[in-house]
Protein backbone atom coordinates (compact mmCIF):
# COMPACT_ATOMS: atom_id res chain seq x y z
CA UNK A 1 0.00 0.00 0.00
CA UNK A 2 1.41 3.40 -0.98
CA UNK A 3 1.09 6.23 1.46
CA UNK A 4 -0.68 9.25 0.00
CA UNK A 5 1.25 12.51 0.22
CA UNK A 6 0.33 15.04 2.83
CA UNK A 7 -1.90 17.77 1.49
CA UNK A 8 -2.07 21.28 2.91
CA UNK A 9 -4.78 23.88 2.39
CA UNK A 10 -3.33 27.38 2.58
CA UNK A 11 -5.89 30.05 3.39
CA UNK A 12 -5.27 33.77 2.94
CA UNK A 13 -7.78 36.14 4.48
CA UNK A 14 -9.02 39.63 3.62
CA UNK A 15 -6.82 42.20 1.89
CA UNK A 16 -3.97 39.75 1.38
CA UNK A 17 -4.76 39.90 -2.35
CA UNK A 18 -3.30 43.43 -2.15
CA UNK A 19 0.12 42.34 -0.88
CA UNK A 20 2.95 44.14 -2.60
CA UNK A 21 1.01 47.37 -2.78
CA UNK A 22 -0.75 47.46 0.61
CA UNK A 23 1.40 49.07 3.32
CA UNK A 24 4.69 47.54 2.10
CA UNK A 25 6.47 48.87 5.20
CA UNK A 26 4.36 46.49 7.29
CA UNK A 27 3.52 43.64 4.89
CA UNK A 28 6.53 43.66 2.57
CA UNK A 29 7.00 43.94 -1.18
CA UNK A 30 6.04 40.41 -2.23
CA UNK A 31 2.70 39.84 -3.91
CA UNK A 32 0.40 37.04 -2.81
CA UNK A 33 1.09 35.29 -6.13
CA UNK A 34 4.84 35.33 -5.36
CA UNK A 35 4.27 34.04 -1.82
CA UNK A 36 2.12 31.22 -3.21
CA UNK A 37 4.82 30.42 -5.79
CA UNK A 38 7.50 30.24 -3.09
CA UNK A 39 5.22 28.08 -0.92
CA UNK A 40 4.57 25.71 -3.84
CA UNK A 41 8.33 25.30 -4.34
CA UNK A 42 8.80 24.65 -0.63
CA UNK A 43 5.92 22.16 -0.58
CA UNK A 44 7.44 20.24 -3.50
CA UNK A 45 10.78 20.09 -1.68
CA UNK A 46 8.96 18.72 1.39
CA UNK A 47 7.01 16.20 -0.67
CA UNK A 48 3.58 17.61 0.13
CA UNK A 49 0.83 19.07 -2.00
CA UNK A 50 -0.39 22.60 -1.39
CA UNK A 51 -3.60 24.30 -2.43
CA UNK A 52 -3.78 28.08 -1.92
CA UNK A 53 -7.07 29.94 -1.53
CA UNK A 54 -7.69 33.62 -0.80
CA UNK A 55 -10.95 35.34 0.03
CA UNK A 56 -12.03 38.65 1.46
CA UNK A 57 -15.25 37.01 2.65
CA UNK A 58 -15.54 35.31 6.01
CA UNK A 59 -18.20 32.85 4.87
CA UNK A 60 -16.07 31.73 1.90
CA UNK A 61 -13.19 30.99 4.26
CA UNK A 62 -15.54 29.08 6.58
CA UNK A 63 -16.77 27.08 3.57
CA UNK A 64 -13.17 26.30 2.55
CA UNK A 65 -12.34 25.11 6.08
CA UNK A 66 -15.43 22.89 6.24
CA UNK A 67 -14.69 21.47 2.75
CA UNK A 68 -11.14 20.64 3.85
CA UNK A 69 -12.34 17.77 6.03
CA UNK A 70 -11.41 14.51 4.34
CA UNK A 71 -9.48 16.32 1.59
CA UNK A 72 -6.50 17.84 3.39
CA UNK A 73 -4.08 16.76 6.10
CA UNK A 74 -3.75 20.23 7.61
CA UNK A 75 -4.37 23.95 7.21
CA UNK A 76 -1.92 26.84 7.01
CA UNK A 77 -3.89 30.04 7.58
CA UNK A 78 -3.28 33.76 7.57
CA UNK A 79 -6.72 34.95 8.62
CA UNK A 80 -5.75 38.62 8.22
CA UNK A 81 -8.05 40.91 10.18
CA UNK A 82 -10.40 37.98 10.88
CA UNK A 83 -7.76 36.82 13.37
CA UNK A 84 -9.07 39.41 15.80
CA UNK A 85 -12.80 39.22 15.04
CA UNK A 86 -13.94 35.86 13.69
CA UNK A 87 -15.50 33.40 16.04
CA UNK A 88 -16.89 31.74 12.88
CA UNK A 89 -13.40 30.88 11.56
CA UNK A 90 -12.38 29.65 15.00
CA UNK A 91 -15.46 27.45 15.28
CA UNK A 92 -14.97 26.04 11.76
CA UNK A 93 -11.36 25.12 12.55
CA UNK A 94 -12.45 23.55 15.82
CA UNK A 95 -15.20 21.60 14.05
CA UNK A 96 -12.96 20.02 11.39
CA UNK A 97 -10.15 19.24 13.86
CA UNK A 98 -7.42 19.48 11.20
CA UNK A 99 -3.99 20.49 12.49
CA UNK A 100 -3.71 24.21 11.77
CA UNK A 101 -0.86 26.69 11.90
CA UNK A 102 -1.70 30.39 12.04
CA UNK A 103 0.74 32.77 10.32
CA UNK A 104 1.08 36.53 10.04
CA UNK A 105 3.48 38.64 8.01
CA UNK A 106 3.75 41.29 10.73
CA UNK A 107 4.28 40.76 14.44
CA UNK A 108 0.72 41.28 15.62
CA UNK A 109 1.93 41.76 19.20
CA UNK A 110 4.01 44.82 18.26
CA UNK A 111 1.07 46.52 16.60
CA UNK A 112 -2.16 48.11 17.78
CA UNK A 113 -3.67 46.67 20.95
CA UNK A 114 -6.72 45.28 19.12
CA UNK A 115 -4.40 43.06 17.04
CA UNK A 116 -2.94 41.36 20.12
CA UNK A 117 -5.86 38.95 20.50
CA UNK A 118 -6.32 35.98 18.17
CA UNK A 119 -9.47 33.90 18.07
CA UNK A 120 -7.54 31.37 15.97
CA UNK A 121 -4.51 30.75 18.23
CA UNK A 122 -6.36 28.66 20.85
CA UNK A 123 -7.50 26.16 18.20
CA UNK A 124 -4.23 26.10 16.22
CA UNK A 125 -1.23 23.89 16.97
CA UNK A 126 0.95 27.01 16.73
CA UNK A 127 1.33 30.56 15.53
CA UNK A 128 4.18 32.27 13.66
CA UNK A 129 4.24 36.01 13.14
CA UNK A 130 6.58 38.85 12.36
CA UNK A 131 8.88 37.31 9.75
CA UNK A 132 7.22 38.63 6.61
CA UNK A 133 6.74 36.04 3.87
CA UNK A 134 9.13 33.78 5.79
CA UNK A 135 6.32 33.29 8.35
CA UNK A 136 4.50 31.23 5.73
CA UNK A 137 7.55 29.07 5.00
CA UNK A 138 8.22 28.53 8.70
CA UNK A 139 4.56 27.72 9.27
CA UNK A 140 4.55 25.21 6.43
CA UNK A 141 7.63 23.47 7.83
CA UNK A 142 6.14 23.36 11.32
CA UNK A 143 2.84 21.95 10.04
CA UNK A 144 4.51 19.29 7.88
CA UNK A 145 6.79 18.26 10.75
CA UNK A 146 3.77 17.98 13.05
CA UNK A 147 1.85 15.90 10.51
CA UNK A 148 4.77 13.58 9.84
CA UNK A 149 5.40 13.11 13.56
CA UNK A 150 1.69 12.42 14.20
CA UNK A 151 1.65 9.84 11.36
CA UNK A 152 4.80 8.08 12.56
CA UNK A 153 4.14 4.76 14.32
CA UNK A 154 6.60 5.45 17.21
- Residue ranges for the binding site for substrate? 78, 84, 91, 105-106, 115
68 within 8 A of 96, measured Cβ to Cβ: yes
Which residue, among 129, 121, 139, 127, has the nearest Cα to 104 in the 3D structure?
Answer: 129
Gap between the Cα atoms of 22 and 47, Å rounded = 32
Q: How many residues would you count in the chain?
A: 154
Q: Is 82 a catalytic residue?
A: no
Strand 7-12 relative to strand 100-104, pairing: unpaired
Q: Provide the annotated binding site.
A: 78, 84, 91, 105-106, 115
Which residue, among 147, 154, 87, 144, has the nearest Cα to 120 in the 3D structure?
Answer: 87
Which of these is catalytic: 72, 82, 104, 119?
A: 104
Q: Is 12 a catalytic residue?
A: no
Which of these is catalytic: 27, 72, 119, 136?
A: 27
Across the chain, how many H-helices and E-strands are there? 5, 5
- Active-site residue set: 27, 104
Amino acid sequence: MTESPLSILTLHGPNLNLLGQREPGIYGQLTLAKINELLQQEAEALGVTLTPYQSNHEGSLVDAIQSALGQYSGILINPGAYTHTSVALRDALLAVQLPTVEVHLSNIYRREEFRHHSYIAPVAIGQISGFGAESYRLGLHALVQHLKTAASPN
